[in-house]
Chains A and B, each alone.
Chain A
Amino acid sequence: GAGVSQTPSNKVTEKGKYVELRCDPISGHTALYWYRQSLGQGPEFLIYFQGTGAADDSGLPNDRFFAVRPEGSVSTLKIQRTERGDSAVYLCASSLMGRERWETQYFGPGTRLLVL
């Protein structure tokens, strides 16, 4: 597609439920990033994929968070046993290769997650 797309755009769930957030990167981009943005804050890094593998998952806050990218394109961020503190905008970004310095990351519109 023309840009990074994310679905759903909004998600409301109850505490303790499981959610999946989807990211479709720009075609041909091998690097994919997940960030989380809380109200009034800048985006915070969660996990980065180079191809199918997670190259850096140091930003995942705990083991309730998991992400996959099985075919090196679409990625799914999975959150188990959601907590109210998980409420945020989840942003996905992609870049061409992810191996070069100063490579521009292009962001999707985000998924707004609200945990009641």
Chain B
Amino acid sequence: SQELEQSPQSLIVQEGKNLTINCTSSKTLYGLYWYKQKYGEGLIFLMMLQKGGEEKSHEKITAKLDEKKQQSSLHITASQPSHAGIYLCGADKSGNTPLVFGKGTRLSVIA
């Protein structure tokens, strides 16, 4: 079965600093999703990547999928306290439906 490994497990950064979170798959990714989760809330959809080499940005968050489609990175520029939370990557197992998730990366942003 497909497994997703996220690194780092947790991250503490100073406000204004840049950071990168990685998601590595044991198999080729057919669809890679990034979600953010805060305590007491569900998963908030950030971005979805499909094609090798694809890159998407939303505000200060950029996600990339490598050419081999086995690794994705999420980069946050000039981090803010509002970026704090747990970032989860999820993969489409084989095309359609139930997602397999990594364990998440817990991000704290300190002033």
Contacts from A to B (Cβ < 8 Å): 4, 6, 31, 33, 40-45, 48, 55-56, 59, 91, 93, 98-110
Contact = CB atoms under 8 A, between A and B. Distances in A.
Given A59-B98, A104-B45, A42 B103 contact: yes
A26 to B, nearest CB: 12
B92 A101 contact: yes
12 contacts: A6-B42, A33-B98, A40-B103, A42-B102, A43-B101, A93-B43, A99-B96, A102-B31, A102-B92, A104-B48, A107-B44, A109-B42
Contacts of A93: 43
A105 B41 contact: no
A105 B88 CA distance: 13
Contact of B97 (A43, A55, A106, A110): A55
Interface of B: 4, 30-31, 33, 35, 40-45, 48, 50, 88, 90, 92, 95-104
A101 to B, nearest CB: 4
A100 B42 contact: no
A43 B41 CA distance: 13
A91 B43 contact: yes
Contacts of A42: 4, 88, 90, 101-104
B43 A43 contact: yes
Contacts of A104: 33, 45, 48
B96 A100 contact: yes
Given A42-B103, A42-B104, A98 B43 contact: no
Contact of B48 (A44, A56, A102): A102
B68 to A, nearest CB: 18
Nearest to A9: B40
